[in-house]
Structure 1
Amino acid sequence: MQSWLLWLSIAAVLGIAELMTATLDLLLLALAATAAGGAAALGLGVGLQLLAFAVTAAALIVLVRPVARRHLTAYPQLRSGVAALVGREAVVLSVVGREPGRVRIGGEEWTARSYDPDLLIPAGTTVDVFAIEGATALVYPRE
């Protein structure tokens, strides 16, 4: 059997095993076996084929694996409830300052106080929601 066929067979077996385990490690080894198969197809000796396999496997495991793992295990941050209101735009309905007033956030009316207690925000001003404390939004005017 020609050596490049042997390497491609090894790559196929590793690829099938990767489909069964979904660990990503076997896929990287399958790619290294494919690189060794390419070296064999070029007519390089067995020693250089093994070297191509080892160098490619090491490079893929050191360089690609950490990045791929990070992307596979990272979950998008989904904000829900009142946490989803932080950072949104609101319109002041009644004067907001140290004493609570009213704002409209996404079609809902909320009690609001100024994030800066010394600041008085007039009605009609567009503000940003900085935080939610209980049922009160802490807002600051947009610049």
Structure 2
Amino acid sequence: MFENSLFVWVAVIILGVVIEAFTLDLSAIWFAVGAVAALVAASIGLGLPAQLIIFVLFSAALLVLVRPFCRRFLRTKNEPTNADRIIGEPAIVVEEINNMQATGEVKILGQLWSARSADETVIPAGTAVRVVAIRGVKAIVEKTQ
């Protein structure tokens, strides 16, 4: 029984580390640390109920107390691009917009943007349009009245 629980805890450690490596969400690593504590308990001869209690307590405590602290410092920062400033701006179609052919380009505030029609209509070059949204790197436009 003693040797079997050692293998179980080593497997839980490996599983926790592998899951964390794939998700990078700071969720599974705490269970791996809890399994290390349970492995230590198993190696000094504590029984399976004590090992399980230690695993649950360590994992839960680290998850609740340490995870929020770590996430605050490891959070990736989004760099604003100001691309949303073109929403609502007038533009001129410089290349016919045809969603079916995935073509179209507009000039907005002196910059050229790939464009698509908001209502799926073909918009000829030279037409005045207004930007209604951005999807990825494409301006979504509609004709102005």
User: TM-score, normalised on structure 2?
Assistant: 0.49
Larger radius of gyration: 1
